[in-house]
Structure 1
């Protein structure tokens, strides 16, 4: 069954403005949130989004680009740009202003929302204590809602490696978030 992404890709190859706009509208916020969660810097995250879509256009214009899995392709481009950024700026000060990043609303109950928000803030603080690969897997799986297969495509790692990173990351998070018994 054809996905909207397939139609968008066909249109994008013809440089159809509506298809290109649909791709941007469908994925720009997700790519921004992904980059922002990993970088902690709004301006750099916006640059990552712009460069990701520029590279998609450049690739399509040169007769390349994805034939399928557009979402994974865009995340992969963003991932590579983020890795390049960390290589160029290894000692960055993280601005963890997560309040401005959209979060899924899970409840209508204000008390539950506050508890959920506090728990998320705690998780976000300890997320930075994970290895970069573990952090990427957690962000892609649990913040972006991607499957193991999609994460493996984005990170260019086997699904088994993604599962292993996920397992180690969740164990590390569990240790850091569980209060030590006296």
Structure 2
């Protein structure tokens, strides 16, 4: 971080290379739009550089700091717009051995999960995305969302229960 605070190009490039793919994936999963995810990622690093220029920014936990910036940007975006359904993956991996009905079933399951995720609260959705898709630890998620670890565990539990209820209801044809 000291080299980044001195604006050494190599240090800033290393930070960008290390964290930008995860920030992009996080934003894409929550926003559902590649262009908006790129904008979020760019704005995240722009705000990070502005913080460094103002001699502020993180002393430690850089990953959580960057995700927090992205979280705030996404929260502001949600306040301005209704979010679309969230993508889980770009494509289903094509395997020539797969039968068409398996591919259709897999796509339907992904669509059901996207719909279920969109019905969660923003905090629950972000906890699920960070925990299970970005594979962050609860401690990191707590820093990103600025909540105690216990609150993150409770959000995670409630989100999983909500997903279970939504998906079980979906199997009955109620979604």
TM interval, shorter chain, is 0.7 to 0.9
Deviations 1:75-100 (A, max 9, x none): 0000011111112x23x361655543
In structure 1, how many angstroms separate the alpha carbons of the residues matched to 2:130 and 2:142?
Answer: 10
Whether the 8 Å contact between 2:5 and 2:52 is mirrored in structure 1 is: yes
Root-mean-square deviation (Å): 2.7
1:6 aligned residue: none
Q: 2:35 aligns with which of 29, 43, 47?
A: 43
Query: Unaligned regions of 5+ residues in structure 1, if any?
Result: 1-8
Q: Is the 8 A contact 1:41 1:95 kept in 2?
A: no
Structure 2 gap segments, 5+ residues each: none
| Counterpart contact for 2:88–2:110, Cα < 8 Å | no
Q: 2:151 aligned with 1:161, yes or no? A: yes
Structure 2 counterpart of 1:172: 162
Length-normalised TM-score, structure 2: 0.83
TM-score (norm 1): 0.80
Q: Give the deviation of 1:29 after TM superposition.
A: 1.3
State the SS of the aligned residue for 1:100: coil
Following TM superposition, where does structure 1 have runs of at least 4 consecutive aligned residues deviating by more than 6 angstroms? none
Structure 2 CA distance for aligned equivalents of residues 73 and 156 of structure 1: 10
- 1:126 positional shift: 1.1
SS at match of 2:55: coil
